[in-house]
Structure 1
Amino acid sequence: MQVSDNAQRKRFGLAPRWWIIALITLGTILNYLARSTLSVAAPTLKTEFGMTTEQYSWVVLAFQASYTVMQTVAGAVLDALGTRIGFFVFAIGWALSNMAHAFATGWMSLAAFRAMLGATEAAAIPAGTKTVAQWFPPKERPLATSLFQMGTSVGNMIAPPLVAFCILAWNWQAAFLVTGALSLVWAGVWWLAYRDPVEGKQVAPADGGAAKPATRSDVLRSRSFWAIAVPRFLAEPAWQTFNFFIPLYLVAVWKLDLKSIALWAWLPFLAADFGSLAAGLLPPWLMASGRSMLASRKITMTLGSLCMVGPACIGLATSPEVAIALFCVGGFAHQLLNGALITLCADVFDSRTVGTASGMAGTSAWVGGMLFTLLIGQSADVLGYNPLFVALAGLDLVAAAVLWGLLRNPAPGLRRAA
């Protein structure tokens, strides 16, 4: 269903696109709250089900594998059905899948529910990127992207105190039921409040001058796609390690209990919010200083990569407080560089193709995250976490080099209006 510009203004006010990105941000918060429920509950569930770290890594991998495959599918579905219908269907799916975790009886059934959750949560980032491409001009895209990207860290930030409260007040099952129910409520709000922009009256032309949107094959043959997809493959392991393993690291290395995890584990994600904000503010400043649009994204991504030296030094930490501080540097760094990479999809692909391109780049990212999770499962109990944190920093520096080496102006058939 589409509505006139006047109806949009009446519904959302004079700047409907900022209300829309606020709604996307809230959905992203609840998406990441749902997926982060497991990491906070992991110490409890390891005891409940007698799980080893390797078995827990397989549970995480079940989520990552289905998410990886479905990122590409979700992007294509969003391009085919439109953001409103597509995102609504996926939101209902992840809400119910998350609530189903409460019925797990062991690590294998938990892995099955994680796979369901991964398959349905995969639409969040492609939906946000597509919305930015549809509604925002180039100078506003970094800030718009950073706002919905902040939802990823806010969701992770809320999870430790909320999930710990549910477990301590009721039981671990309640944590999954509560976080899933919140997503159900948001899905209803999304359906009632969101409308796609009127065809032909988007903020920027939909096709960037091309006669028809690029196909998936066109995207895969594009140098610009690989300039985004390869760095995302190399950078994503850091964020997924922070998402899924910080509580286990704090228990294994510093012997913290659930209350202490609730007190400390949200701080890296608060720092990540500032990284997201910086990813939105730095590129426009660089452009105002004479840098090109693409150069502003490259510089932002590189600064984030350099900051990853912080978590590489976690092995030198002398207390859990120092370790958390270095995780905070890592959270800031990753969201700074990732904001630039996600924005690039909206920069170089037209709005009818950006969901597909973003989804495929997301699949590349999650393949990297999945492989690194497998490495953690096989080596953390033997070698410890410290070498893994050093490796994460090295991967991000390589990612920056790849971005500078590959990214050029996109081909005319793929480029959106600048």
Structure 2
Amino acid sequence: MGVKPVPRGWRSIPLRWRLIGLVTLGTILNYLARSTLSVAAPQLKLEFGMSTEDYSWVVLAFQASYTVMQTVAGSVLDALGTRLGFFLFAVGWALANMAHALATGWPSLAMFRALLGASEAAAIPAGAKAVSEWFPPRERSLATSVFQMGTSVGNMVAPPLVAFCILAWNWQAAFIVTGGLSLVWALLWYWSYRSPADHPAISAADRAAIAEAHNDDVAVKPTTRRELLRSRSFWGIAIPRFLAEPAWQTFNFFIPLYLASVWQLDLKSIALWAWLPFLAADFGSLAAGVLPTWLMRRGMPLVASRKVTMSIGALCMIGPACIGLAGSPGIAILLFCVGGFAHQMLSGALITLCADMFDSRAVGTASGMAGTSAWVGGMLFTLLIGQSADAWGYDPLFLALAGLDLIAAAVLWSLLREARRNVATNVEGV
């Protein structure tokens, strides 16, 4: 009998981590597509004669459809399954992003943004659902932080790639290229992903890890939308996400405009600077995965480890609150970097809690509904920016973001309680 060869390279990585790597790549392309507009915004403002208020309505069209579709997308993912559901939404956002090249003014641009928002809404719920399907509780924070890093990598890649497309060809090419990449990924996803029950390459180790997830699960979890809405745990996650999301959306949609309007940077300079906060955000995502695991190894309960992680991130948001004191664009970018790190750290903890607190059959719905709450907060703050930025500047808005995150941490501690866990038993009916 021959010796079975030892897997090497990519094949040596456990299947569940390879699949979360695929989710991460999809998240990168999702955020690359949505960030294409923010990098192209200074060019499009000139092209279409848009004011900051006009641009805020374009952003708002994306946010409004994304907000509504978060809940719908989560339910669709639970109904169709992660594989088919995520594939259909990915094809949708790829085509919608490419359609931006057909825009002739800010109203048509807003229409295409609405289509993009509706289809992109599935990304975070799909990632959370994949984590709940494939990972035990002790690994969920790290798995979530890995795919959440894709949000900042996508934003980080966007400035140089989009600026290159605009300078080499035109602004339309930027949308076609970034949308086309997402279309290729959608096909790769459908070919590669399966649920644990259906995946032909699942190993004994992966099966054991998934079994651990069931054995160590929360004793009684909400499984329907009505039960979720009646759950204290759901509101303990949804309200902090409502308060925290405006910071990330402000970084996503307004950093290039801030640099152009306040510091008069051109497109090349924006491409040089604007990716740095999202590099820092990657480290925040990593911290959201590593810190709870470190705390749990030292005896801290699971939910408390998420709360502490979120609270540290909220405290770090004091950094971007001081952007108004910056004496140069370099200092402003440094403070944005602190903000990127802080937000992804606290956001990673909040997103992971959906996989911790709810049944895997309802994680898509729970994550989507919490995402709707988050995006309502982001949408309202975008309206505030559109109405006040030209008149009052950005400084009071950055200060408000830090205050909202600190309130979010207080709400999380007051509403969310440690989950009850199943006690392992081999006796049926006990």
TM-score, length-normalised on structure 1?
0.94
For the 8 Å contact 2:221–2:358, the answer to whether it is kept is: no
Partner of 2:282: 273
Q: Hey, what does 1:221 align to over in structure 2?
A: 230
CA distance in 2, matches of 1:71, 1:406: 23
Q: Distance in 1 between the 2:220 and 2:149 partners?
A: 35
The alignment covers a number of residue pairs equal to 406
Partner of 2:140: 141
Shift of 1:214: 1.3
Contact 1:350 1:416 in 2 (8 A): no
Separation of aligned partners in 2, 1:158 and 1:109: 26
Does the aligned pair in 1 maintain the 2:75–2:365 contact within 8 Å?
yes
Match for residue 313 of structure 1 among 322, 338, 344 = 322
1:37 equivalenced with 2:36 (yes/no): yes
Mapping of residues 97-176 of structure 1, within 5 Å:
97-176=96-175
Structure 2 distance, partners of 1:187, 1:216, is 28
Q: Distance in 1 between matches of 2:285 and 2:393?
A: 30
Partner of 1:88: 87
Is residue 374 from structure 1 mapped to residue 383 from structure 2 by the alignment? yes
Separation (CA, whole Å) in 1 of partners of 2:401 and 2:267: 26
Q: What is the aligned-residue identity percentage?
A: 77
Q: Which residue of 2 aligns with 1:190?
A: 189
Distance in 2 (CA, whole Å) between partners of 1:103 and 1:416 is 58
Distance 2:220 2:316 in 1: 42
**1:88-126 deviation per Cα after TM superposition (whole angstroms, max 9, x unaligned):** 000000000000000000000000000000000000000
Question: In 1, are the aligned partners of 2:222 and 2:358 still within 8 Å (CA)?
Answer: no
Tell me the residue number matched to 1:75.
74
Aligned to 1:8: none
Q: CA deviation at 1:358?
A: 0.3
What secondary structure does 2:214 align onto? coil
C-alpha deviation, 1:205, in angstroms: 2.5
Contact 1:206 1:350 in 2 (8 A): no
Cα displacement (A) at 1:83? 0.3
**What is the aligned partner in structure 2 of residue 51 from structure 1?**
50
Superposition pairs for residues 241-260 of structure 1, below 5 Å?
Answer: 241-260=250-269
Q: 1:339 to 1:243 in 2, by over 3 A?
A: same
Q: Are 1:396 and 2:424 counterparts?
A: no
Q: State whether residues 224 and 409 of structure 1, in contact with CA within 8 Å, keep that contact through their aligned partners in structure 2.
A: no
1:141-195: CA deviations, max 9, x gaps? 1100000000000000000000000000000000000000000000010011111
Matched letter for residue 389 of structure 2: A
Offset at residue 289 of structure 1 (A):
1.3
TM-score (norm 2): 0.91
Amino acid corresponding to residue 19 of structure 2 in structure 1: I
Q: Is the 2:304–2:418 Cα contact (8 Å) retained in structure 1?
A: no
What is the distance in 2 between the residues matched to 1:381 and 1:398?
A: 27
Cross-structure match for 1:302: 311
Stretches of structure 2 lacking an aligned partner (at least 5 in a row) = 1-9, 199-205, 425-430
Quick check: 1:288 aligned with 2:287?
no
1:107 corresponds to which letter in structure 2? W
Matched, 1:332 2:341: yes
Residue 129 of structure 1: CA displacement?
0.3
Residue 134 of structure 1 contacts residue 206 of structure 1 at CA under 8 Å; is this kept in 2?
Answer: no
Mapped partners of 2:217, 2:357: distance in 1: 10
Structure with greater Cα Rg: 2
Deviation at 1:410, TM superposition (A): 4.5
Q: 2:363 matched to 1:354? A: yes
- Give distance in 2, aligned partners of 1:185 and 1:81: 21
Q: 1:20 to 1:232 in 2, by over 3 A?
A: same
Is the 1:351–1:416 contact (alpha carbons within 8 Å) kept by the matching residues of 2?
A: no
CA distance in 1: counterparts of 2:215 and 2:178, whole angstroms: 36
Task: Return closer, same or farther for 1:307/1:209 CA change in 2, 3 Å cut-off.
Answer: closer
In 2, Cα distance between equivalents of 1:335 and 1:305: 10
Residue number in structure 2 paired with 1:18: 17
In the alignment, the residues of structure 2 paired with residue 86 and residue 148 of structure 1 have an alpha-carbon distance, to the nearest angstrom, of: 17
SS of equivalent residue, structure 1 residue 42: helix
Note the C-alpha offset of 1:208: 4.5
How far 1:290 moved relative to its partner?
A: 1.3
Q: Which residue of 1 aligns with 2:203?
A: none
Structure 1 distance, partners of 2:339, 2:218, is 40
